[in-house]
Structure 1
Amino acid sequence: MTVKLVYFAWVREQIGKPEEVLSLPDSVITVSDLLKHLTSLGENYAQALRFADVIRVAINQEHVEHDTPLNGANEIALFPPMTGG
């Protein structure tokens, strides 16, 4: 599966690019699998996603949980947790 990944805020800063297109291995089935796979792509990815459980994810512009399957995903966006005050 080939998907467009879009990175926001400090995730983008750590990874060093705003977006990219990746071909994912067949073993990447869920959002959680994707985050784990991305951390294997290099130190910058590992650093950006070291607290993967707090990363918010949207598939095709709809926020999803980490156990959501990726089938049908064209675009996946990764966001750090939102803060407010």
Structure 2
Amino acid sequence: MKVLYFAWLRERIGLAEEDVEAEAPDVSALVEALRARSPAHAAAFADVSALRVAVDQEAAGFDAPLKGAREVAFFPPVTGG
């Protein structure tokens, strides 16, 4: 599946996107697999309370199933003003 990173996640990991082969049943398991990819990934996903996620371009929680998902995006909460 394609994993997309936005804002400071992209900066910390050094990638805007990557293709990931993971057998993760849900977003939380995917995060664990991503943390293991590199020290940069581990740092970026150290505090998931500061992240939001979308699965196939729809807002989702970290308990969202990934069966059949083609894309997962991680981004910080949006603020406006």
TM-score, normalised on structure 2?
0.92
Question: Aligned with 2:80: secondary structure?
Answer: coil
User: Which of residues 69, 72, 75 is equivalent to 1:73?
Assistant: 69
- 1:72, 1:53 → 2: CA distance? 25
| Residues paired across the two proteins, number | 81
Alignment of 1:1-85 (within 5 A): 3-24=1-22, 26=23, 28-85=24-81
Identity of aligned residues (%): 43
TM-score, normalised on structure 1?
0.88
Question: Aligned with 1:77: secondary structure?
Answer: strand
- 1:18, 1:6 → 2: CA distance? 6
Q: CA-to-partner distance for each residue in 1:17-59, whole Å, 9 max, x for gaps?
A: 10011111x3x11111111111111110011111013311101
Unaligned runs of 5+ in 1: none
Q: Over aligned residues, Cα RMSD in angstroms?
A: 1.1
Question: Aligned with 2:20: secondary structure?
Answer: strand
- Paired AA for residue 59 in structure 1: V
- Paired AA for residue 52 in structure 1: V
Q: CA deviation at 1:81?
A: 2.3
Question: Aligned with 1:46: secondary structure?
Answer: helix
